[in-house]
C-alpha cells in the first residue's frame, strides 16, 4: 500500500480470469496441449490444418472452398415478387426493385 495505493488496484483481473488467461498466457494447462484439428485432402490424402483453403501438398482447393465460391457466384432470380406476387418473368434483366410495389429485392 505504497504510493497512495488503496489495495483495490488490479482487482478487475480477478473478476474476469478466463479473459486474462486467454490473452495473457497464464492459464494452467495441466501439461496438456490442445490438439490441432487436421483434415485430409480428397485429392492427394495429405493432412491440412482445419480450416484450409488450398492443400499444402498439391494445391487443390478444399471442398469447402469449392462450395463457398459457387454459392457466392449464384444470383437470386425471382419469377414473382416476394412482396406483392407480381409476375416479373418477362423482364429483360433482373430488376433491383419490383415494378409493381417498388420494394427492393435482396
Decide if 8 is inside a domain: no
In whole angstroms, give the CA distance from residue 20 to residue 18: 5
Does residue 56 share a domain with residue 82? no
> Is 11 part of any domain?
no
56-77 b/e with 16+ CB inside 10 Å = b?
eeeeebbeeeeeeeeeeeeeee
pLDDT at 101: 92
The cell 429483360 sits on which residue? Answer: 92
**Residue 47 maps to a domain:** yes
pLDDT at 96: 86
Asked if the structure places residue 102 within a domain, the reply is: yes
Q: Return d(Cα 33, Cα 88) in angstroms, integer.
A: 58
Q: Which pLDDT value is given to residue 18?
A: 55
Residues contacting 83, CB < 8 A, separation 6+: 98, 101, 103
Q: Are residues 89 and 66 in the same domain?
A: no
Q: What is the pLDDT of residue 40?
A: 84
pLDDT < 50 positions in the chain: 1, 24, 31
Domain boundaries, position 105? 76-106
Write down the pTM of the prediction. Answer: 0.33
Question: Is the domain of 64 the same as that of 52?
Answer: yes
| pLDDT value of residue 65 | 66
Look at residue 41 in the predicted model and tell me its pLDDT: 85
Q: Per the structure, how many domains does the chain have?
A: 2
Q: Is 60 part of a structural domain of the chain? A: yes
Angle, CA 70 vertex, CA 68 and CA 72 arms, to 5° = 70
Amino acid at each position: 500500500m505504497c504510493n497512495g495505493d488503496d489495495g483495490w488496484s488490479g482487482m478487475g483481473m480477478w473478476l474476469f480470469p478466463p479473459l486474462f488467461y486467454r490473452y495473457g498466457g497464464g492459464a494452467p494447462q495441466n501439461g496438456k496441449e490442445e490438439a490441432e484439428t487436421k483434415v485430409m485432402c480428397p485429392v492427394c490424402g495429405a493432412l491440412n490444418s482445419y480450416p484450409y483453403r488450398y492443400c499444402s501438398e498439391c494445391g487443390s482447393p478444399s471442398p469447402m472452398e469449392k462450395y463457398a465460391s459457387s454459392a457466392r457466384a449464384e444470383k437470386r432470380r425471382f419469377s414473382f415478387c416476394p412482396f406483392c406476387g407480381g409476375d416479373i418473368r418477362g423482364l429483360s434483366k433482373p430488376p433491383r426493385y419490383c415494378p409493381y410495389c417498388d420494394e427492393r429485392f435482396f
